[in-house]
Structure 1
Amino acid sequence: MKDKIMSSMQKFSRIIIRPVMFMSLAGLLISISAVLKMEFMPTFIQQCGSFLFNLLTGSFISQMAVIFCVSLTTSIAKTKKNDAAIVGIVTFLLFLVANNQWLTVTNQLATPGEYGLAGTGQAMVLGFQVVDMGVFLGILLGCVAGYVFNKYHDKKLHKMIAPYEGTRFVYFVMIFVSIFLAIILSYVWPFINGLIEGLVNIISKSGSFGFFIYGFANRMLLPMGLHSLLYMPILFSPLGGTATVAGASYAGALNIWLAEIGSVSQITAIHPSVGYLANFGFTALPLGICLALIHTAKPEHKSKVKAIVLPALFAAMFAEITEPIEFLFLFTAPILWVFHGIVYGFGLMLSNLVGLNIEVSTVIKTVMNSIIIPMELGRQWLVPILFVILTAVEFFVFKFVIEKWDLKLIGRTDNFNEAENNIFDDESELSTTNRNYQLVVDGLGGVENIKEINNCITRLRIDLIDDSLVNKDLINQFGNSGIISKKNHIQIVIGMGVEDVREGLEAHIKKNQ
């Protein structure tokens, strides 16, 4: 039972991450639009910035629920994904209309106040006033629609009504499921929302230590692929806080922050939820790790180590991809991962203690955020100071642990060899089409041993029938930055070209079946 629950959590984690893949680009463009909107810009540039900001927030940020619904439905569906997408969007619309109608006939519609529906427990979604579930609505409906789709997509009916079988029968079922959920959630969700608010209050009362716990747990869950189950609710749901910005209500730390940078002239303080985003885990900590790995390497291997860790450092600081640098020590020295998690959480806690009030992410995003937010609100003058402190802390912690226990990391063995140490290949090579996918198939025990292939942002995630058939040496010949095995589930860290690799692997398997 425990393994089944873990497997289900891992599967949900890799499915729910798909919409977030687009979030990084949207966040960057929103930051750019916020710069263009600043008062010193020419009027035409300000208008262009406002257009871009309204476009992105109105079409993406404000509609995360429907995006999650369609994404989850199609990701969960095992076949006929085009039909699943239609079922997903129709399910969402059915719920909105049914819920609105039920609130209307039962006289439960809230009356807008000074700030609209903010604080009433209801919200406008695609023009319908419904129970305010935020992104949870899309997650719930997407999971239900995906489950029903898999259960009934091949349903056969009597020949007289055969035109309504298969995926059309799924649509028929979802009409009644949507109505049922629309009615039930009108009464159940306010209670659930109260529990969420209580949990938020507990976290907020933990003060800076709450951010430490969040950061430490984030790193500890990453090797199992479950960290998205922690940060997703924080970034996009009321668990990360709620706020009214420029008259509109937002839930989730990232949603609140993006709203604030787009309305910076109308705010007088930064919401405390920014503490979840003041994260030096993409810049200072990777630099500290990089310096420690180079410093502790044998003199004759330092140049090789630099050639490996510097591209990985660049990926973290400019592309928000930390796996290449983190996976250099996770497998060979797990104790370092614990210390890394402690420093990671310490960085979030320290940022909150000293009052840093801007999102710290990649170098580019951090610089742009520092430009957008007034100094008296963001206190961004603290960024370079904290950067130096946390780089030094990570460096000395890693140096001490590596030397104390004589950890055999890259560059610290006499027979140091890149391939033998399973280190990260050049990113461009990983994204090329001329790859020997048969190495992966054979390394996974053959086609008949592969149950399901998926991917997240950087990893192939594969469910197997028999994990004893895995040959990691063969998989390593394909090129990767790490392999994580958890019984009948294996994760192969590829990098940002992972989606192309997954499609290539699936095409190879289909071609050779």
Structure 2
Amino acid sequence: MREKLQTFAGSMMVPIILLVIVGFYVSIASSFTGYILTEGTLLYNLFTVISSIGFMIMRYLPFWFAVGVAFGLAKKEKGWAAFSGLIMFMCFNTVIGTYAGTQGWNMDTVSVSHLVDNLGWAADKAKNFNSLWKDLAGMFTFDMGIFSGILTGVVTSLIHNKWYKKTLPTVFSFFSGPKFVIIMITLISIPLGIAAFYVWPVLAAGLQAMTKFITASGLFGTFLFGATDKALLPFGLHHLIAFPIEYTRVGGVMEIGGQVYEGVRNIIVGQAGSPDATGYIVRNFTTGRILFQFGGLPGAAFAMMATAKPENKKKVASIVIPAALTVMFVGISEPIEYTFLFINPLLYYLIHVPLSGLAYVLTELTQVSINGHALFFMIPNLFQPHKVHALSLFLLVPAYFAAYYFSFKWAILKWNIKTPGRGDEEDEIKFYSKKDYRDKKDGSALANEIVAHLGGPDNIDNITNCATRLRVTLIDPNKRSANNVWVSDLKAKGVVGDGKAIQIIYGPEVSTIATEVKEVLEID
């Protein structure tokens, strides 16, 4: 189960890439059209076009998830899988709308006025039923948000992986392989869509109840989210708790300028694009990251440097300072987190996890309202500074630096934890300085060694990557090299998992490494 969840979480990162672009397009372009430029000028029209692209991506999020998830979960022939995901999504929603029509439902009959005036429904019941439906790219269907894209993407990948190599008799050979998958998708979409017609209203009620629970749980729910998000990071499952809140109605629903936005990240983008918005939502389950990315983790990193042996301090600084800057500028925190996670997990779970949860609580208590949680992603705020309310960060960030610095320093010295620079032998804990990266092996050579240490091409069932890790599914886990070999000989920062599903942590350069490995394996 963990293997499949890890793979699924990784596939979700494919469509999420689009949302990073959306944030910049909408925030920056809308600031020019709303506050700076005069309507009708050439630049105004240009930025209007850019903003419209961003809103278009937002409007059709389910499409991108259908294609992206199918692509990400496919083992081979990923291009065909992505194409199949789009077909499944369109067929699925067409079936829902058509079958609903046979039951007497269309855009007119699901309107609140029709339900109340002609069918005698209570107003609340009518509004709840009406909220289930929408017009999506000309299709009358359920308003499932990205869940429809995720569902159809997952189902498509299952069909694709089962039948993409299907062979048929010679007379039907044209329909073999991926084309057979297309046929099966159009057929399977029928029972899938009809089943969704009956099941989705029940699930939607469950999501509504979950939303009410999160809202009613207040600061406890905020703490629980932040702590759980970090606690799941080592297992590669943290995306599964963050995605529903960030990109679905579980995180809340808000109407902005006549457009309904679901999920806290989507709501923030909507507020960035609205000239009437005076700030961003406070309870957004993201601003807590600012405290441990700007203050906490740099504090922990400098605690490692302070406790290193005198002769090793410069060497430790060569990894601590770049890693701290990376956290603040682009929000990639795993190089620091995995340094103390693998040395002593108690540092991670007894100090970092609870303080992470508390960070979300403090930013919510002090009403922090800002777009982005790392310097790079905060650039749009420069164009709309009047929407930012974050003065408390000038006190909270230094406080978090001090809290992490002194707690980590105390724990390291108290229990003599062998953080970087404190080992008895140079190779006991591996450092990665600038010289290490300059001397790093050629990418193709490293990729060949990675494949060899995974037990060879025939032992690799599937390989993908997220922002910092290679995610590998093996046929026989006993054929791969031990964890310490990956760290000492293959430039990895650590390995997660001990079964068929493992994750090899390489940091931000993992995308290049993954491409090289796939070329060695001759897969797309």
TM-score by length of 1: 0.89
* Cα separation, 2, equivalents of 1:459 and 1:148: 27
Cα 1:441–1:151 shift into 2, 3 Å: closer
* Cα separation, 2, equivalents of 1:297 and 1:364: 31
Matched, 1:310 2:321: yes
Cα 1:275–1:301 shift into 2, 3 Å: same
Aligned counterpart, 2:401: 391
1:270 offset after TM fit, Å? 4.1
Aligned counterpart, 1:400: 410
Once the two structures are superposed, residues 308-337 of structure 1 have per-residue CA deviations (whole angstroms, 9 ceiling, x without a partner) of: 111111221112211111111110011111
Aligned counterpart, 2:7: 11
**Structure 2 matches for 1:66-465, cutoff 5 A?**
66-111=63-108, 120-263=131-274, 265-267=275-277, 270-280=280-290, 281-338=292-349, 339-366=351-378, 368-369=380-381, 372=384, 374=386, 378-417=388-427, 420-424=428-432, 433=443, 435-465=445-475
Unaligned runs of 5+ in 2: 114-126
Cα 1:42–1:310 shift into 2, 3 Å: farther
Residue 260 of structure 1 contacts residue 267 of structure 1 at CA under 8 Å; is this kept in 2?
A: yes
Aligned counterpart, 2:504: 492
- CA RMSD across the alignment: 2.7
| Paired letter, 1:125 | L
Cα 1:101–1:258 shift into 2, 3 Å: same
| Paired letter, 1:195 | G
1:29 offset after TM fit, Å? 3.6
Residue 17 of structure 1 contacts residue 456 of structure 1 at CA under 8 Å; is this kept in 2?
A: yes
* Cα separation, 1, equivalents of 2:293 and 2:135: 36
Residue 289 of structure 1 contacts residue 394 of structure 1 at CA under 8 Å; is this kept in 2?
A: yes
Cα 1:234–1:432 shift into 2, 3 Å: farther
* Cα separation, 2, equivalents of 1:218 and 1:363: 21
Identity %: 27
Residue 275 of structure 1 contacts residue 357 of structure 1 at CA under 8 Å; is this kept in 2?
A: no
Residue 452 of structure 1 contacts residue 463 of structure 1 at CA under 8 Å; is this kept in 2?
A: yes
* Cα separation, 2, equivalents of 1:40 and 1:248: 23
Cα 1:244–1:30 shift into 2, 3 Å: same
Once the two structures are superposed, residues 178-227 of structure 1 have per-residue CA deviations (whole angstroms, 9 ceiling, x without a partner) of: 22222222222111011011011111111112111111111111111111
Aligned counterpart, 1:51: 49
* Cα separation, 2, equivalents of 1:439 and 1:161: 43
* Cα separation, 1, equivalents of 2:223 and 2:416: 28
Q: Secondary structure at the match of 1:54?
A: helix
* Cα separation, 2, equivalents of 1:424 and 1:138: 40
Cα 1:210–1:347 shift into 2, 3 Å: same
Aligned counterpart, 2:119: none
Q: Secondary structure at the match of 1:436?
A: helix
1:88 offset after TM fit, Å? 1.2
Q: What is the total number of aligned residue pairs between the two structures? A: 500
Once the two structures are superposed, residues 118-160 of structure 1 have per-residue CA deviations (whole angstroms, 9 ceiling, x without a partner) of: 9622223223231010000000001111111222223333433
Higher mean C-alpha displacement, 60-69 vs 279-288 = 279-288
Residue 279 of structure 2 contacts residue 369 of structure 2 at CA under 8 Å; is this kept in 1?
A: no
| Paired letter, 1:149 | H
Higher mean C-alpha displacement, 433-442 vs 239-248 = 433-442
* Cα separation, 1, equivalents of 2:168 and 2:475: 33
Residue 344 of structure 2 contacts residue 417 of structure 2 at CA under 8 Å; is this kept in 1?
A: yes
Residue 425 of structure 1 contacts residue 479 of structure 1 at CA under 8 Å; is this kept in 2?
A: no
1:55 offset after TM fit, Å? 0.8
* Cα separation, 2, equivalents of 1:495 and 1:118: 46
